[in-house]
Amino acid sequence: MNKMIKELTAAATRDPEMSLLEAIAARRSVRGFLDREVPPEIMQRIFEIAQQAPSNCNVQPWKAYVASGALKERLRQRMYDNTASGVAPNPDYEYRGDFRDEYRARQVECAVALYSRMGIGRHDREGRMRAVLRNFEFFDAPHIAFIGMNPEFGATVAVDVGMFAQTLMLTMVAFGVHSCPMGTMRNYPDLVREAFDVEDGSKILFGISFGYEDSAVPANATRTTRAPISENTVFRSE
């Protein structure tokens, strides 16, 4: 019996065979998770692989603070309470959300697709507030990663952090784990620094909730489109 358990454990933690193209096609923002934690050995392996992300001068500027269990619950409750009671966010980096033209059209398309799945109408203010608060419940994910970097770095190095995050989320998909990148997780960075005893002044850019998808959650049926590459890619040879 012990031998069988060891073999099953080894098989479960073996690196998956999903191709990169399959992982890219399967990755999407999941907004509802099962009450099931990712095993520590799988989580460790996922972050080891993501550490291979490209980096300017190999400085590897990203910081990942991963909360699970009781710590995750405390952060979830404090962030939820702050938002519900109207405590003003104090993000380390301001977010510009005044999208225009085609960018605004894509934003609206995304919102309509999501809210329609959630049964939230255009003028349903209470429903929209509930949707906002779901962010601060981490969509019931068992884990939340806060992603940041040293404040000495600027936008050019922040690009590295984005590549790390993409590598991380694609690796998660390969292991059967889904995620949701969340800009709202920048709202209360002091809570994160306090929770993780951050003393180097690292700033928080965003968060990623992750775990195993609950396919019964209506929001998880949301699908968005991508513009044809002709709208944002230019090929020239002379």
Residue 14 dihedral angles phi and psi, to the nearest 5°? -65, 145
Assess whether pLDDT exceeds 70 at residue 68. yes
- Model pLDDT for residues 91-106, shown as the tens digit of each residue: 999 887 789 999 999 9
Residue 188 placed within a domain: yes
- Counting Cα atoms < 13 Å in the Cβ hemisphere of 224 gives 18
Which DSSP string corresponds to 13-82? HSPP---HHHHHHH--B---B-S-PPPHHHHHHHHHHHTTS--GGG---EEEEEEEHHHHHHHHHHHHHH
Rounded CA-CA distance 68/179 in Å is 14
Mean pLDDT over each residue of the chain, to the nearest integer: 93
- State how many domains the chain has: 1
User: What residues contact 229, with CB distance under 8 A and at least 6 apart?
Assistant: none
Asked if 158 and 205 touch (Cβ cutoff 8 Å), the reply is yes
Q: Which pLDDT value is given to residue 6? A: 55
In a domain, 119, yes or no: no
- Checking if the pLDDT of 21 tops 50, the result is yes
Residue 97 has a pLDDT of 75
CB contact at 8 A, 189 and 203: yes
CB 135 within 8 A of CB 182: yes
Q: Is residue 154, in this structure, part of any structural domain at all? A: yes
Q: Please enumerate in sequence order all residues whose Cβ is within 8 A of that of 136, keeping only pairs 6 or more positions apart, or say none.
A: 76, 79, 80, 82, 83, 84, 184
pLDDT for 106-135, tens place per residue? 999 999 999 999 999 988 999 999 999 999
What is the pLDDT, as a whole number, of residue 115? 92
Is there a domain that residue 103 lies in? Answer: no
> In this predicted structure, what is the pLDDT of residue 165?
98
Under 8 Å between Cβ of 71 and 195:
yes
Sheet holding 203-211, edge to edge: 62-68, 143-149, 203-211, 178-182
pLDDT at 8: 46
The answer to whether residue 80 sits within a structural domain is: yes
In a domain, 101, yes or no: no
Average pLDDT over residues 84-97: 92
Q: How many other C-beta atoms can be found within 10 angstroms of the C-beta atom of residue 171?
A: 25
CATH code: domain of residue 209: 3.40.109.10
Whole-model pTM?
Answer: 0.91
115 domain-assigned: no
**By residue range, what is the domain housing residue 43?**
19-95+136-222
| For residues 63-79, average pLDDT | 98
Q: 112 — alpha (psi -120 to 50), left (phi > 0) or beta?
A: alpha
* Mean predicted confidence (pLDDT) in 149-178: 95
pLDDT tens-digit map of 176-235: 999 999 999 999 999 999 999 999 989 999 999 999 999 999 999 999 999 999 999 999
CB 160 within 8 A of CB 54: yes
In a domain, 128, yes or no: no
